[in-house]
């Protein structure tokens, strides 16, 4: 990522939030498709919706706007979740890095886990709202927008519902943070070190796609558990899933082992696309801040 050591702390969080919101505005339909593929056919081994077929089905029955069901929740989630996990990561890296000596890979992973988990907690209420609002029509709760969803969940089901899926969400956030940021940084460093490309948009796109692939492979089983738990209903006073492990076991037992990676195609395309848009926006925000804010503050004689 762009060197952010000279940025004020608030800018690291603000730029991360703005970049996350910008990315989800572009790539949200892929997120919706991934969520619906993880929910459709719940408990049925034979139900494996195809990405394009599902997109056509949504457009046919709900129109093109159906691909943006739950967008307000996604925007709120990115503003909180991505803002905290990426902003905190940059703040931790810059704080512990010695002048001219970058942190080693292990230290970066530790910072990624801590900041990712923090972001997962910060964005959890909006994440639960997103899972429900982006679900197939027959499994939605007819929330008007993200604020209505959060208020209704708290009032009708209790405040604990806002943090349903806490464990898989936090674990997922930690994994995706390490995969996204360290994967992007490693790929970018490799490309620049061997002079395969310069620090330009092509470098950012290639690094983002690599980070998207690594993140998708590692995070999908946990993401599947998170989606099922957040969307589950209480039947006769008993929840459908006892926790993250139980959700994964039930998916494997009823739907097959590879169902843990259900939604891989839209998730990979979504991650690669979102990471690309995110990092392009973030890198340029950092560069613009340095050019127009930091340079403007320098005395004329420097």
Domain boundaries, the chain: 9-293
In CATH terms, the superfamily for domain 9-293 is Mitochondrial carrier domain (1.50.40.10)
Report which secondary-structure segment, H or E, holds 107.
helix 105-122
pTM: 0.84
Find out whether 286 and 4 touch, Cβ atoms under 8 Å. Answer: yes
pLDDT in tens, 128-153: 999 999 999 988 888 999 999 999 99
Residue partners of 211: CB distance under 8 A and separation at least 6: 179, 180, 181, 183, 184, 187, 271, 275
Residue partners of 218: CB distance under 8 A and separation at least 6: 175, 176, 179
11-20, 50-59, 96-105 — which one is most confidently predicted on average?
11-20
Q: At what angle do helices 244-255 and 201-231 cross, to 10 degrees?
A: 90
Instruction: State percent of the chain over pLDDT 70.
Output: 94
Q: Which of 142, 133, 136 is nearest to 39 (CA)?
A: 136
């Amino acid at each position: 990522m762009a060197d952010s050591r000279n940025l004020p702390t608030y800018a690291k969080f603000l730029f991360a939030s703005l970049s996350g919101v910008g990315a989800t505005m572009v790539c949200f339909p892929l997120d919706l498709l991934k969520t619906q593929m993880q929910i459709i056919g719940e408990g049925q081994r034979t139900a494996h919706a195809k990405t394009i077929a599902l997109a056509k089905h949504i457009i046919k029955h709900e129109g093109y706007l159906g691909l943006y069901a739950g967008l307000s929740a996604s925007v709120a989630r990115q503003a909180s979740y991505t803002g905290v996990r990426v902003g905190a990561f940059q703040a931790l890296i810059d704080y512990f890095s010695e002048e001219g000596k970058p942190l080693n890979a292990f230290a970066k992973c530790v910072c990624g886990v801590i900041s990712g988990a923090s972001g997962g907690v910060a964005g959890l209420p909006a994440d639960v709202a997103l899972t429900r609002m982006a679900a197939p029509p027959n499994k939605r709760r007819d929330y008007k927008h993200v604020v209505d969803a959060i208020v209704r969940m708290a009032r009708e089901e209790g405040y604990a519902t806002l943090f349903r899926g806490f464990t898989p969400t936090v674990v997922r956030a930690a994994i995706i943070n390490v995969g996204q940021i360290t994967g992007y940084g490693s790929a970018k460093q490799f490309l620049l070190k061997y002079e395969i490309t310069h620090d330009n948009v092509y470098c950012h796109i290639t690094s983002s796609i690599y980070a998207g692939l690594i993140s998708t492979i590692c995070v999908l089983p946990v993401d599947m558990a998170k989606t099922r738990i957040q969307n589950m209903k209480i039947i006769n006073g008993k929840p459908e899933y006892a926790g993250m492990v139980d959700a994964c076991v039930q998916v494997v037992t009823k739907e097959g082992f590879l169902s843990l990676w259900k939604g891989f195609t839209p998730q990979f395309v979504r991650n690669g696309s979102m990471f690309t848009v995110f990092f392009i926006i973030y890198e340029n925000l950092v560069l613009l801040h340095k050019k127009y804010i930091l340079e403007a503050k320098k005395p004329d004689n420097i």
